[in-house]
Amino acid sequence: MYQIYPRSFADSNGDGVGDLNGITRHLDHLQRLGVTVVWLSPHFDSPNADNGYDIRDYRKVLAQFGTMTDFDRMLAAMKKRGMRLIIDLVVNHTSDEHRWFVEAKKGASNPYRDYYIWRPGKAGAGIASSAPNNYPSFFGGSAWTQARPGDDYYLHYFAVKQPDLNWDNRKVRSEIYDLMRFWLDKGVSGFRMDVIPFISKDPAFPDLTTDQLQHPDRVYADGPRVHDYLKEMRREVLSKYDTMTVGEAVGVTPEKGPLFTDQTRGELDMIFRFEGVNIGRDGWRTKAWSLPVLKRFYTDLDISAGTSGWNTSFIGNHDKARAIDALGDGSPASAKALATMMLTLRGTPFLYQGDEIGMTNYPWTDIGQFDDIAARNLWRDQVLSGKVAPAELLPELAKTSRDNARTPMQWTAGTAAGFTTGKPWLPVNPNHATVNVAAEAADPGSVLAYYRRMLALRQTTPALIYGAFHDVDPAHPQVFAYTRIMGANRYLVVINFSARPVGYTLPAGITPRAVAITTAVSTGTTLPNGTLALAPWQASVYRM
């Protein structure tokens, strides 16, 4: 799977914003890489308060991205190459400019009122806030806003411009199922479902406790009817088509993950779990992390899938800082190590655009350079309110901001990295002089060349896809070593997760025989006593 963030992928008409024709033009790159399915981040009509995750019209293509004809052409071109397309289903909320909400806010008797969630404010002297309860929004402040003074409050887990839909209303669910059919009938093969665990709300809206306020997402992801609705969606829509679904499982605890993905339950096919990619994060701050904790997460995740579930494997997406900086050390060697891990864990890999060439975080120096609503609201709430010094927030934001993943795709060393002939909507990383598709395609030692080889190996090696996963050395602080075994086909993956060389002695009974792939320059690295001499960030896959 390959995730395209259309705004930042390729601009075909020089307006500085990526578009669908830009994607169609670059399908060779995806095919050469070995991509078989594309996940397209939202391409729908939107006022872009949250870059398309605020949809105004689910059946219209965003004008900046092109037309429905462009969409059909892109889809046909993908199919011709044997690729499938899944699109983003953002139905926890709409834009406040969606016609349903424009109607709903006209008043309590409007037929669309109940498409959204409204509650009266708390009245009385001495209360801290008159919002119906203390739910916070992910983008700062309360999750409740009044459409106008004196009116009830509507719920929005995200921005003020992203009102949450009322899934308890059967009409809302029918509208959503219809729009899903609209796109499936066009030939898309499924959906990545945005914050799908949040769709069901506790209608009593009790205040969160102090503990719950540490992780409101866990409460939001545990509504009373979420599983009923997902089963209904499968019955009424998904089961009628040949589809694949992946849910964004924000707030889903390890024990609850399988409830979404166990195939015997008839809900989703896979979910994204974020503990791995978030390991070095504490909100907007970075934090120290240790390899054994990361390894423990992957083992638990693997066990939780059981025999009738399946996982995803990913190191980045449009909401995360670049993997090479967050989990690696910014070096191409660390990008290759991470690629090896992502492509050999037991789960369907989702590769985020640009990671295949080792794109890094942007060297931000000023808050004015950021576009993301999350970054701008955070600055407002923390710095402009006087809580945190600018010199404290800016360097952390530079490391953790979502905009790091959204700078334009680097195609060439030329102007604007070959992304656009105009002025790019977000700055292009200056390292495009060396980190770009054209240069890396010509260099057998590049990150891109390694991704191509690693993907080819994975696709021709069933044991690396389906084989049982076993961490052979969970406590080792520097090396991640695991086996993938399917009958007689036995593989060992060894990754030096650090910039320091290490002499690594494998646990007894684990014997590598031949190297299937390695990031090392020379493969003759087995020392006589069975110790592997691993270079910084070296990753190797061996046949056993």
Kindly list the catalytic residues.
Answer: 194, 248
Least distance from C-beta 86 to ligand NOJ, angstroms? 14
Sheet of strand 539-543: strand arrangement: 468-471, 479-486, 489-496, 539-543, 514-518
How many whole angstroms from its chain centre is CA 492?
28
Query: Smallest gap, in angstroms, from Cβ of residue 143 to ligand NOJ?
Result: 12
Query: DSSP 3-state helix, strand, coil percentages of the chain (rounded to 5)?
Result: 35, 20, 50
Q: What is the DSSP letter of 399?
A: H
Closest residue by beta carbon to ligand NOJ = 53
Cβ(224)–Cβ(206) under 8 Å?
Answer: no
Determine the Cα–Cα distance for residues 351 and 452; give it in Å rounded to an integer. 12
Contacts of 321 (CB under 8 A, 6+ apart): 361, 399, 400, 401, 402, 404, 405
Sole residue written with tokens 């006022």: 47
When the beta carbons of 262 and 403 are compared against ligand NOJ, the nearer one is 403
Q: Compare residues 50 and 355 and give the one whose CB is closer to ligand NOJ.
A: 50
Q: What is the largest CA-CA distance in the chain?
A: 81
Cα–Cα distance for residue pair 35/355, rounded to 1 Å = 13
| Residue 282 DSSP SS3 | strand
User: Which of 194, 396 has the CB closer to ligand NOJ?
Assistant: 194
Report the nearest approach of ligand NOJ to the CB of residue 418 (Å).
Answer: 25
Q: How far is the CB of 8 from ligand NOJ (least distance, A)?
A: 13
Please say which residue, 7 or 295, places its beta carbon nearer to ligand NOJ. Answer: 7
For the record, the structure tokens of 501 come out as 């060389």
CB closer to ligand NOJ out of 45 and 194 = 194
Residue 163, SS3 per DSSP: coil
Instruction: Kindly state the tokens that stand for 532.
Output: 């592997």
Nearer to ligand NOJ, 26 or 318 (CB): 318
Closest CA to 342 of 311, 308, 321, 304: 311
Helix axes 332-344, 447-459, angle to 10 degrees: 10
Distance CA 7, CA 41 (A): 9
Binding site for ligand NOJ (CB under 6 A): 50, 53, 90, 158, 194-195, 248, 318-319
Residue closer to ligand NOJ (CB basis): 249 or 291: 249
Nearest distance, CB of residue 489 and ligand NOJ, angstroms: 36
Report in angstroms how near the CB of residue 409 gets to ligand NOJ at its nearest: 17
In terms of CB distance, is 158 or 469 closer to ligand NOJ?
Answer: 158
Shortest Cβ 53–ligand NOJ spacing (Å): 3
- Pull the structure tokens for residue 515: 């190297």
Residue type (1 letter), 199? I
Q: Are 57 and 45 in contact (CB under 8 A)?
A: yes
Both tokens of 333, joined, read 């060697």
Number of other CB atoms surrounding residue 110 within 10 Å:
14
CB of residue 276 to ligand NOJ, shortest distance in Å? 16
